[in-house]
Amino acid sequence: DQQVKQNSPSLSVQEGRISILNCDYTNSMFDYFLWYKKYPAEGPTFLISISSIKDKNEDGRFTVFLNKSAKHLSLHIVPSQPGDSAVYFCAGHNQGGKLIFGQGTELSVKP
Amino acid sequence: NAGVMQNPRHLVRRRGQEARLRCSPMKGHSHVYWYRQLPEEGLKFMVYLQKENIIDESGMPKERFSAEFPKEGPSILRIQQVVRGDSAAYFCASSPKDRSYSYEQYFGPGTRLTVT
């Protein structure tokens, strides 16, 4: 039962352009959604979150959009930098405390 | 303010041995979560603990796996009689004291378990 899905395993973007990472979910009971960035051999690093009652949250170059009717969220990174190259995971927070993660999207930002 | 600490970073065990993974949460955090990442997959929830209490162990395999978070000391994830399928990266996360902030989970660097 895959409650959170990231259908694109990889994404390649030119430096300075926008990166858009997508995530779909099936569980309407998630109260928060989060994005994490992960480098190889390291733990996930928290990037940005959004409450299920909001439709947008912005923090510097990172913006997360939530479309509840479509059960879809996206992370926009503008402008993209080579240091943004990593695997990005979206996660839904279950009110009981657990995070349910997608499979991840590997972002490559080319100079 | 130190982040979430995990040790060891790498652990090699032969089939049938026991593996013990340790996690010290961030200062001021009293909620600990364990997740497992198998190769080419996302992270999967295993267990959620508070001091001396298991809150949710719905992701733990029924046999050989156990977790604790004692009053003093780190949280321990214990795997008895390891098998090759246990080879994975095990991540610990912690969140602040108030359960309403359990969505703010900060991760440690992980322990990479290899079973030979």
Q: Residue B44, class by beta-carbon neighbours within 10 Å (0-12 exposed, 13-18 middle, 19+ buried)?
A: middle
- Residue that is written with structure tokens 């995971």 in the block: A89
A99 at the B interface (CB within 8 A)?
Answer: yes
What's the pLDDT at B21?
Answer: 98
Given B31, B45, B55, which is nearest A99 (Cβ)?
B45
What is the pLDDT, as a whole number, of residue B111? 98
Chain A residue with the nearest C-alpha to that of B34: A98
- In angstroms, the separation between the Cα of residue B38 and the nearest Cα of chain A is 11
Predicted local distance difference test score (pLDDT) of residue A27: 87
Nearest residue, CB atoms, A43 vs list B44, B45, B110: B110
Q: Quote the minimal CA–CA distance from A35 to chain B in Å.
A: 11
Chain A from 6 to 65: CB within 8 A of any B CB: 6, 31-32, 34, 36, 41-46, 49
Residue B17 contacts residue B11 (beta carbons within 8 Å): no
Residues B35/B10, Cβ–Cβ less than 8 Å = no
pLDDT of residue A96: 82
Distance in Å, alpha carbon of A33 to nearest chain B alpha carbon = 8
Q: CA distances (Å), B51 to each of A95, A107, B68, B113, B114, in order? A: 19, 38, 8, 25, 29
Cβ neighbourhood burial of A12 (10 Å; 0-12, 13-18, 19+): exposed
Q: How many CA atoms lie within 13 A of A111 on its CB side?
A: 2
Burial class (CB in 10 A: 0-12, 13-18, 19+), A83: exposed
Chain A residue closest in CA terms to B92: A43
Cβ contact, residue pair A101, B42, below 8 Å: yes
3-state SS class at A103? coil
pLDDT of residue B30: 87
Instruction: Please list the pLDDT of chain A residue by residue as tens digits (111 residues).
Output: 679 999 999 999 999 999 999 999 998 899 999 999 999 989 999 999 999 999 999 999 999 999 999 999 999 999 999 999 999 999 999 878 899 999 999 999 999
Does the beta-carbon distance from B107 to A44 stay under 8 Å? yes
The 10s digit of each residue's pLDDT in B2-20 is 799 999 999 999 999 999 9
Please state whether the peptide bond connecting residue A79 to the residue before it is cis, i.e. omega within 30 degrees of 0: yes
Contact A109, A86 (CB under 8 A): no
